[in-house]
Structure 1
């Protein structure tokens, strides 16, 4: 996918710049993943469940650093279409999130599109920019723990 890159004037506010960048990258990944039927947020949730196995809501919330209420809201459509299954574990009554076979199949279908998006960003940025970018993101994530 050949896309023209237009550099925009940054804001004085770091938060505004991060939010703009985040929206642009999310929209880009969503567009690349469109043929798979998944959005990047859904892809990420399914991929975490594939890698880590069934997790409680609290565990999944911590792993992906997403507020529990937002996680529940994001899981509902996935559960409705059968990509995840949520069970209640006794005696703790913790809700356990499982990736279903259908969810695994959807994820497998999406992987080539995700790889294509990754490749495009790897071509847009230099190796040094990617290294610095990851380091900056890691620092920024540590300010809110």
Structure 2
């Protein structure tokens, strides 16, 4: 019986304290908020993040974007191919490959401009949901982890 009690206490601790669970839940809620706002533009927040990161640099190698956004190569590759088909990104060489350089097309820049008000609304709602203290805490955590900006 003691073992069950110890296991139960351990489970209660995970349920009540697990940082990973809370971060993942918060991520899903906030990502959903941005995705819903950007959906009328045919864009997901993850794709918007890639467009912004590439636009900010002017052009980038896929490996650089993966480092900046902390995403897997396969995830980036899928999104880049979709965004190239949509005309939002272009690459040199156009066929892609390991050494390609990607850049935002004029159509991709227009999309970012059109989607900006929707992003602003999602940003305001996210701030409302997590509060100014939450926003400050997120900035501090990101900075401590070296994730403060979309740069290498």
**TM-score range for the pair, normalised by the shorter chain length:** 0.7 to 0.9
Counterpart for residue 58 of structure 2: 53
From 21, 35, 39, the counterpart of 1:30: 35
Could you tell me how far apart the structure 2 residues matched to 1:140 and 1:14 are?
A: 15
From 89, 99, 106, the counterpart of 2:104: 99
TM-score by length of 2: 0.76
Tell me, which stretches of 5 or more residues in structure 2 are unaligned? 1-14, 148-152
Task: Kindly report the root-mean-square deviation, in angstroms, between the aligned alpha carbons of the 2 structures.
Answer: 2.1
Which residues in structure 2 correspond to 1:86-125 (within 5 Å)?
Answer: 86-88=91-93, 94-125=99-130
TM-score by length of 1: 0.79
CA deviation vs aligned residue, 1:85-107 (integer Å, no higher than 9, x gap): 12139xxx711011011111111
Could you tell me how far apart the structure 2 residues matched to 1:129 and 1:81 are?
A: 35
Which residues in structure 2 correspond to 1:5-16 (within 5 Å)?
Answer: 11-16=16-21
Could you tell me how far apart the structure 1 residues matched to 2:138 and 2:64 are?
A: 27
- Higher share of residues assigned strand: 1
Does the residue aligned with 2:71 lie in a helix, a strand or coil?
coil
Q: Is the 8 A contact 2:33 2:126 kept in 1?
A: no
Does the residue aligned with 1:55 lie in a helix, a strand or coil?
coil
Counterpart for residue 131 of structure 1: 136
Could you tell me how far apart the structure 2 residues matched to 1:57 and 1:133 are?
A: 26
Question: Which of these two proteins has the greater Rg computed from alpha carbons?
Answer: 2
Counterpart for residue 84 of structure 2: 79
Does the C-alpha gap of structure 1 residues 20 and 141 become closer, same or farther in structure 2, counting only changes over 3 Å? farther
Tell me, which stretches of 5 or more residues in structure 1 are unaligned? 1-9
Aligned length: 130
Counterpart for residue 8 of structure 2: none
Q: Is the 8 A contact 1:11 1:17 kept in 2?
A: no
